[in-house]
Amino acid sequence: MISTITNQNPLVYSCSGCSSAAQMANYLALQLDRKGIAEMSCVAGLGGNVKSIVRTALSGRKVIAIDGCPLACSKACLGNHSLQPDYYFELSVLNVKKRGHQDFDKQEADAISALIQQQLKVS
- What is the value of pTM for the model shown? 0.93
Contact 24, 104 (CB under 8 A): yes
Predicted confidence band of residue 8 (pLDDT cuts 50, 70, 90): confident
**Which pLDDT belongs to residue 29?**
98
State the pLDDT at residue 17: 93
- Each residue of 54-109: pLDDT tens digit? 999 999 999 999 999 999 999 999 999 999 999 999 999 999 999 999 999 999 99
* Domain boundaries, given as residue ranges, for the chain: 11-119
Question: What mean pLDDT comes out for the span 25-52?
Answer: 97
- The alpha carbons of the chain give a radius of gyration, in whole angstroms, of 14
Between 53 and 121, residue with greater pLDDT: 53
User: What length does the chain have?
Assistant: 123
Q: How many CB atoms lie within 10 A of CB 6?
A: 8
